[in-house]
Amino acid sequence: MTFINSKFIKSEYSDIAKVSQGQSVCFYGMVQNVRVTKWGGFVIVRKPEGLIQTVIQKDTSSIIDEEGRSIGINDISREMAITIHGTVNSANIKDKSVKYNTIEIEVSKIQVISRPSTTEVIDVNALKFSDDESVLRYKFDNRQVSLRNPKDMAIFRVSSTIAQSFAEYLISVGFTQIFTPKIVSEGAEGGANVFNMDYFGKQVYLAQSPQFYKQIGVGVYERVFEIAPAYRAEKHNTSRHLNEFISLDVEMGFIKGQEEVMELEMNLLRHIIASVNEKCSHELQLLEAQLPCLPENVPVYRLSEAHELLYNEQLTADHRGEDDMAPEEERAICKYAKEKFGSDFVFITHFPTEHRAFYAMNDPEDPTLTLSYDLLMCGIEITSGGQRIHKEEDYRKKMAERGMNPDNFKFYLDTFHNGMPPHGGFAIGLERITSFFLGISNVKEASLFPRDINRVAP
């Protein structure tokens, strides 16, 4: 019989950046790269927080393999797992991929823990960002290893910070995190872009969004959010589309209008941008990324106003009367807002009823329009949101107009049958906002293991 002590054994330091010069340290890591010199060499070690440079002197550093035998620096290879013992010295490291560029570790001993079973280890240091399909295919085919590239690591530290700060802010203003099913009986967004599957002899679907469930959550907790996968069976193979993505969903009750939802989103995005700037300065520098500008006042245009403005300013072709923004309009209005108001963000509101989901509330002053919005950032839509219908009779009326069968939505309609407050919300795609924040042209690069029409592995 044995016992586990509750005290967790860990490295001697919690943050190497806070360790004083001359202090002894011991830590684990993976070998990112090795540079051999006449006097010894450098071993670049990968830790979750970033790369650390260690210095090996032939006369004073010992290297021990798994069997306890003494080996040389030439025997150290990429992707070995090692333990490093040494002393912290000051340094001035020019390599931007090394996070701790003002210190290095003077090695007294390296112990090899394990090594790759192949001598032809993928050189993750050579992998580059590229729009070339063959380069992307190679990276995604070898994703389990290519993620070890410093720039790829940086992307997902930023992505993690976005998700963490998203939850952090919402919890601070009274939201409750919920977790909803991804196997559903009906698609929340409607249309054909749902994945269907057999479920013990029944046809069910993968959830396009948690829309129904987060609205139900409003009746329980008033303010709810979720961070979870969502699925869209869109037969696109472009740099802007994923078939599985992480959706950051928000829903809030007792609102007076969609403006309250828009205001919440702006405050949330300000918090996220500030958090990324504060916690990911190295990653932003490595990726040469500049976060978008979000001023105190963000311009808001009705869809019809935006069409008219862009046409009158001769910034685009004539799209007046269309039920959505054309891609050229999205780019043009963001450029206009940046030049005129210093904002990388623009709200477009009041989309036609037939263009929005059935749960979008109609504008009481013009029922052909909805109290809904898109948020554009740097020329691309990053969010759809707005006020929802909260009365059962209004749902049944809109379902009848669209030829929908209310019986297929019984559990959902029962929510409103039993009373709901006015409410609204929005959703942000984590991969999309990460790629836009970092200036990455292909959203798949911001997905750990991207899923598109051709890829389901690794």
Q: What is the pLDDT along the chain (458 residues), one digit of tens a residue?
A: 877 766 655 544 456 777 888 899 999 999 999 999 999 999 999 999 999 999 999 989 999 999 999 999 999 999 999 999 999 999 999 999 999 999 999 999 999 999 999 988 998 888 877 778 888 999 999 999 999 999 999 999 999 999 999 999 999 999 999 999 999 988 766 666 899 999 999 999 999 999 999 999 999 999 999 999 999 998 877 787 899 999 999 999 999 999 999 999 999 999 999 999 999 999 999 999 999 999 999 999 999 999 999 999 999 999 999 999 999 999 999 999 999 999 999 999 999 999 999 999 999 999 999 999 999 998 999 999 999 999 999 999 999 999 999 999 999 999 999 999 999 999 999 999 999 999 998 999 999 999 999 899 99
Nearest to 413 by CA among 388, 395, 387: 395
Can you tell me the distance from the alpha carbon of 349 to that of 371, in angstroms, rounded to the nearest whole number? 7
Position 157, amino acid: R
pLDDT attached to residue 263: 98
Which segments within 39-190 are labelled E, that is strand?
A: 40-47, 50-57, 62-64, 81-90, 103-114, 176-177, 183-184
Query: What is the distance, to the nearest Å, from the Cα of residue 245 to the centroid of all Cα atoms in its chain?
Result: 9
Report which of 150, 169, 160, 447 is spatially closest to residue 279, judged by C-alpha positions: 160
Q: What is the pLDDT of residue 92?
A: 94
- How far apart (Å, rounded) are the C-alpha atoms in residues 308 and 306? 5
Look up tokens 């025997």; give the residue. Answer: 75
The pLDDT of residue 237 is 79
Q: Name the burial class of residue 9, with classes exposed (0-12), middle (13-18) and buried (19+) by CB atoms within 10 angstroms of its CB.
A: exposed
Q: How far apart are CA 261 and CA 240, in angstroms?
A: 25
Show the tokens assigned to 154. Answer: 């940086």
Contacts 24+ apart (CB under 8 A), 257-264: 257/371, 257/387, 258/349, 258/371, 258/372, 258/373, 258/385, 258/386, 258/387, 258/424, 260/424, 261/373, 261/385, 261/386, 261/387, 261/424, 261/425, 261/426, 262/300, 262/347, 262/373, 262/375, 262/385, 264/173
Q: What is the DSSP letter of 87?
A: E
pLDDT score recorded for residue 296: 94
Nearest to 169 by CA among 240, 282, 256, 267: 267
Task: Give the pLDDT score at 275.
Answer: 98
Closest by CA to 383, choosing from 276, 288, 249, is: 249
SS3 content of the chain, % helix, strand, coil (to 5): 30, 30, 40
Q: How far apart are CA 385 and CA 387, in angstroms?
A: 7
Say what the pLDDT of residue 9 is: 52
Structure tokens at 311: 């046409």
First to last CA, the chain: 40
Which run of H or of E encompasses 171? helix 150-172
In the prediction, which pLDDT does 239 show? 80
H helices of 313-429, where? Answer: 327-341, 392-401, 410-417
**What's the rounded Cα separation, in Å, for the pair 441 and 137?**
15
Could you count the other beta carbons within 10 Å of the beta carbon of residue 237? 12
User: What is the distance between the alpha carbons of residues 199 and 201, in angstroms, rounded to a whole number?
Assistant: 5
